[in-house]
Each structure stands twice: as structure tokens, then as C-alpha cells.
Amino acid sequence: MIRSAAEFGALVREHRKKQGWTQAQLAERCGTGERFIVDLENGKPSCQLEKSLIAARTVGIDLGDLKSTTPTPPPETDDDLGYLPRFTGQVG
């Protein structure tokens, strides 16, 4: 199971490279800009979901594949949400 934007981006990168495509070529095939592909592969958490799914399908990732990957185990926490980003600091 994919647990982070970084793991999803790494999976997209791996599949893109298997196709022998550059980031620019993938962007063209997806109808997005190259900057989006760069951000996606680098795990930018604010990447748009729809564009991300289009990129995944374009490189041959099936949604069923996301369950079968072997991500790094999340850090141990009490709430089983350790894979989520933690935001610290003052608000306001």
C-alpha cells in the first residue's frame, strides 16, 4: 500500500523509466507540464490527484498495483498514522 506522496512519486518515476521516457515525454503524454511531473515524482504532497492518477495510468500503474507495493514501514506510533506528515509550529 502506498502511504505517502513520496512513495507514489517514486513508483511513477520507476514506471516512467521502465518505459524509457523522460519527464518531458511523460508530461506531454499526460497533457500536463513537466514541472508537474517533477513535483509528482519528488513527492510534493499538494500535487493534484486527478493529474497524478492520469500520470500513473499513463506509465501503466493500475490502482490494484498500489496495494501490492512494498513501502517502507511507517514509524511506530500509537495511532497508526505515523506515515502522515506532522505539522508543527504556531498558527496565526
pTM: 0.67
Residues 6+ apart with CB under 8 A from 8: 2, 40, 43, 52, 56, 66
Joined together, the cell numbers standing for residue 43 give: 513527492
Cα 57 to Cα 40: distance, rounded to the nearest angstrom = 14
- Specify if 83 maps to a domain: no
Examine residue 29 and state whether it is found in any structural domain, yes or no.
yes
Domain span at residue 17 reads 5-68
Q: How many domains does the chain have?
A: 1
Looking at beta carbons, which pairs linking 79-83 to residues 24 or more positions away fall under 8 Å? 83/3, 83/4
41-81 pLDDT tens trace: 999 988 788 899 889 999 998 876 555 555 445 455 455 55
**How confident is the prediction for the chain on average, in pLDDT?**
79
Cβ neighbors of 19 (< 8 A, separation 6 or more) are 26, 59, 60
Burial group, residue 21, by CB count within 10 angstroms (0-12, 13-18, 19+): middle
Q: What is the CATH number of the domain that holds 21?
A: 1.10.260.40
**Of 36-40, 43-47, 64-68, 86-90, which gets the smallest average pLDDT?**
86-90
86 pLDDT higher than 60? no
What's the pLDDT at 23?
97
Q: What's the pLDDT score for residue 40?
A: 95
